[in-house]
């Protein structure tokens, strides 16, 4: 395998990764556009919305440029970065079939996607178990969310239960004067 073929394969694999990232970015891109120009958007003025929109468009265009460069024009990128001159050999001894290389590339891309999404998965799993525990706690003690009012309720209950005594003592002190 020549160095040019090796670098073409590496750059196309990276281009596939960029394509996956674009597929994650596109729904976010359109939802942000809707939020920016909706009546209840988070931006105060239209000027801020246009600045945010231009930043989104710039990000999307950079993604698109990288996708075209890495996936569809890797030869031009190899020439610009002069990747072939980094090695002294002209050929790489690599005795694998093309389908095996593609299979390995798909596995590596899948692992990168898995590792990339693992923190979000763990966060969502933690939130799920936290909600289950809160729901279970609510079923066991349905008024548990009112615990912060307990001291006030205790004082009120004390005065309510002891009101007759307090009234009698107050009445005695007023009659003795």
Among positive and negative, which fits the CA dihedral 63, 64, 70, 75?
Answer: negative
Q: Are residues 54 and 133 in the same domain?
A: no
CA distances from 148 to 86, 144, 152, 161 (A): 68, 9, 9, 21
pLDDT tens sequence across 51-84: 777 888 898 899 899 999 999 999 999 888 888 8
Structural element, H or E, at residue 165 = helix 163-176
For residue range 115-138, what is the model confidence (pLDDT) as tens digits?
Answer: 888 888 888 888 888 887 777 665
State the total domains in the chain.
3
In this structure, are 108 and 170 located in the same domain? no
Structural domain including 62 reads 1-92
Same domain, 88 and 9: yes
Phi, psi (deg, nearest 5) at residue 140: -70, -40
Considering the domain architecture, whether residues 4 and 85 belong to the same structural domain is answered as yes
Q: Are residues 53 and 86 in the same domain?
A: yes
Residues 87 and 102 placed together within one structural domain of the fold: no
At residue 43, the pLDDT reads: 55
Q: What's the average model confidence in pLDDT over 28-33?
A: 79
Question: What per-residue confidence (pLDDT) applies to 27?
Answer: 84
4 shares a domain with 87: yes
Alpha-carbon gap, residue 15 to 76, rounded angstroms:
14
- Could you identify the residue written with the tokens 């394969």? 9
116 and 85 in a single domain? The answer is no
Do 67 and 88 have their domain in common? yes
Residues 118, 112: Cα–Cα separation, whole Å: 10
Does residue 35 sit in the same domain as residue 122?
A: no
Q: Are residues 157 and 135 in the same domain?
A: no
């Amino acid at each position: 395998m020549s160095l040019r073929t090796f670098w073409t394969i590496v750059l196309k694999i990276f281009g596939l990764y960029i394509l996956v990232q674009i597929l994650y970015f596109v729904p976010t891109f359109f939802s942000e556009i809707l939020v920016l120009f909706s009546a209840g958007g988070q931006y105060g003025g239209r000027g801020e919305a246009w600045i945010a929109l231009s930043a989104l468009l710039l990000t999307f265009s950079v993604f698109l440029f990288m996708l075209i460069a890495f996936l569809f024009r890797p030869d031009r990128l190899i020439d610009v970065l002069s990747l072939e001159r980094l090695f002294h050999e002209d050929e790489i001894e690599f005795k694998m079939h093309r389908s095996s290389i593609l299979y390995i590339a798909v596995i590596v891309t899948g692992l990168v996607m898995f590792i990339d999404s693992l923190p979000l998965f763990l966060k969502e799993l933690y939130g799920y178990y936290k909600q289950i525990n809160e729901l279970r706690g609510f079923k066991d003690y349905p008024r548990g969310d009112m615990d912060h009012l307990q001291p006030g309720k205790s004082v009120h209950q004390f005065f309510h239960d002891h009101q007759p005594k307090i009234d009698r003592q107050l009445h005695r002190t007023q009659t003795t004067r």
